[in-house]
Amino acid sequence: MIKSSVQPTTVPGAANPAATGNPAAFHPLAAGRLLSLDVMRGMVMILLCAESCAVYVALKNLELAAPAAYFVDQFFHHPWHGLRFWDLVQPAFMFMAGAALYISYSRKLEKGTSWAGNFNHILLRSFKLLLCGVALHCVYAGKPVWELWNVLTQLAFTTLVAYLIINRSSAWQITFSIGLLLLTECLYRYILIPGFDQPFVESHNFGAYADMLLMGKINSDGWVAINMIPTAAHTIWGVLAGKLLISNNTSAYKIKALLLAGIIGISIGFALDLSGVTPIIKRISTSSFVFASGGWVLIMLSIAYWLVDVKQYVRYVWIFSVIGMNAIFIYLFFETVGVQWLNGVVSVFTGDMLHTLFGIPVNISALLSAVVTWFAEWSLCYWLYKHKIFFKL
């Protein structure tokens, strides 16, 4: 990781960010930057951070009545066949990475860097992502392991695939992404190994068989490493969105295009599911899931773009952008230092202490500890922003 410094420009009439420490003073299009991407990336990271701090588990343990219980369930992955809000987080992460990839690449082209000249950087970045992803699995296991289920290991592959075709036409890229989904369908439907010959049954599908070949083990929760193939479509669609958002088209055209693409994606995904052709299953990233989740992400992006970059509602977006600008760092932090140390330490001096001294119920004290830890990790990103420290791979 490297340390970099960025000097933000200001929106006319806004306070100087250097004086106020308020990142909302970013001009969304300054130096070609789209603040909506930082905001969406920040939203994703804040949600992931909350999961790591056990906010959702604590809410679940409150055993709330409906409809609150249904709302809390949306922050957990669907057990198998179906779609919840939390199933959209990883596709959004992949999608934002693709958009950022194209915008960064376009800037380098303007500075005279060629595709070939930038390829070594992308290759090295993908390798670093792979190493970080594998290292996280070692941290989870408490010992050296070879596992490829982490989002970073998936992103290492999808980034490389997206970059290899980044100069192709939009139509070619769309066709290629659909080809990846068709390839996935064929792998699951037509490579039927004894014991792994049920395409959409947990632990008995081709993805589980591929895991046995790659890692000699099967994930107990049904995740499969070859999700990297279909979810590469998310990163490629992110590239297309990035290309659209920095194009010379009008804002109205961009919003309509994103909305239309999103509606088409959702329609295809649910049509495949409801017709019984291919069920929506996030854990093996079925084609119907990729379409449906990609569609929802496109709609969310269109809304963020309209609110932030077009309507300039930027007063509070700094809450998200300060964490979005250090996304990889905070992800690695809360998955290692956070889970291994900070969560427990904060709990001792917050919820545990309140429970001991005042008899506050354990489930409520656990929620208080989780929220305080969540705020502490966001504050770390805010401190990094104020000191203009941004970590990148």
| Length of the chain, in residues | 393
Residue at 80 is within a domain? no
Residue at 34 is within a domain? yes
Among residues 341, 324, 337, which one has the least CA distance to residue 381?
Answer: 324
pLDDT band at 173 (very low <50, low <70, confident <90, very high): very high
**Position 129 pLDDT exceeds 80:** yes
Q: pTM for the full model?
A: 0.90
The parent domain of residue 138 ranges over 2-69+85-392
Residue at 114 is within a domain? yes
Residue at 357 is within a domain? yes
What are the pLDDT digits (tens) for 199-258? 999 999 999 999 999 999 999 999 999 999 999 999 999 999 999 999 999 999 999 999
Q: For residue 10, what pLDDT is reported?
A: 34
- What is the distance between the alpha carbons of residues 100 and 42, in angstroms, rounded to a whole number? 13
**What's the rounded mean pLDDT across residues 147-171?**
96
Q: For residue 33, what pLDDT is reported?
A: 67
**Position 8 pLDDT exceeds 80:** no
Q: Encoding tokens for residue 200?
A: 């959409």
What are the pLDDT digits (tens) for 277-298? 999 999 999 999 999 999 999 9
Residue at 74 is within a domain? no
- What is the distance between the alpha carbons of residues 327 and 191, in angstroms, rounded to a whole number? 38
- 391 three-class SS: strand
For 336-370, b/e burial (b = at least 16 CB within 10 A) is bebbeebbeebbeebbbebbeeeebeeeebbbbbb
Q: Is residue 209 within 8 Å of residue 196, measured between CB atoms?
A: yes
Overall number of domains in the chain: 1
Residue at 76 is within a domain? no
* pLDDT > 90: percent of the chain: 86
pLDDT band at 270 (very low <50, low <70, confident <90, very high): very high
> Rg (Cα) of the chain, in Å, rounded?
21
Among residues 175, 238, 198, 197, which one has the least CA distance to residue 41?
Answer: 238
- What is the distance between the alpha carbons of residues 1 and 42, in angstroms, rounded to a whole number? 19
Q: Is residue 306 within 8 Å of residue 28, measured between CB atoms?
A: no
What are the pLDDT digits (tens) for 60-113? 999 999 899 999 999 999 999 999 999 999 999 999 999 999 999 999 999 999
Residue at 75 is within a domain? no
Mean pLDDT of the chain: 91
**Position 1 pLDDT exceeds 70:** no
Tell me which DSSP letter residue 167 carries.
Answer: T
Residue at 79 is within a domain? no
Q: Is residue 106 within 8 Å of residue 167, measured between CB atoms?
A: no
**What's the rounded mean pLDDT across residues 181-205?**
96
**Position 51 pLDDT exceeds 60:** yes
Q: For residue 334, what pLDDT is reported?
A: 94
What are the pLDDT digits (tens) for 142-154? 999 999 999 999 9
